[in-house]
Amino acid sequence: MIPASIKASELPAFGQPFADGTLFARQWYGNSEYALVALGADAEIKGEWGKRGKSVDTNHGDGEANTRAMAEAGSELAAKVLALGAVIPSALESHQMMFAKQQGYLSDLDESEWYWTSSQYSSDLAFPVHFLGGSTYIGLKDGSFRVRPVRKILILH
């Protein structure tokens, strides 16, 4: 069972199993802190970000808000990830994954592939990230890249 929340004192260390994935970061969104959990490579989905020419209200920080906005705009990829009880990480959250990879907390990211973030650049373009060196690029929304689903679990203080 995936918990909706966890006490800060009960969180495992970074790189340890948690909520059917691996805990890789903690992040504040407004007044609430969340544990970020990367699901495994077996949960990855490949597909188009969305339709070109359609602007979606996203940001660089909150993958959950972005993924929900993508799904509302008709993104099949976002709908599939939400059905897993997860989100597409934002540009910021993807870079936190890169840092976690460098620290040895995440070891199964494919360094030969681009991964979508949920952050849009323009009505035609969105940001993918490459985990070989952490490069961020702009890609056409109808291009097919992987997504590493992420769960956000509320941390109780």
- Looking at the DSSP bridge assignments, the partners of residue 147 are 45
Rounded to whole angstroms, how far apart are CA atoms 8 and 103? 21
Domain ranges across the chain: 5-156
- At 94-143, the pLDDT tens digits run 999 999 999 999 999 999 999 999 999 999 999 999 999 889 999 999 99
Length of the chain as a residue count: 157
3-state secondary structure of 130: strand
| pTM across the whole model | 0.97
CATH 3.10.100 fits 5-156, yes or no: yes
- At 32-76, the pLDDT tens digits run 999 999 999 999 999 999 999 999 999 999 999 999 999 999 999
pLDDT band at residue 1, thresholds of 50, 70 and 90?
A: confident
Give, for 116, the enclosing helix (H) or strand (E).
Answer: strand 114-120
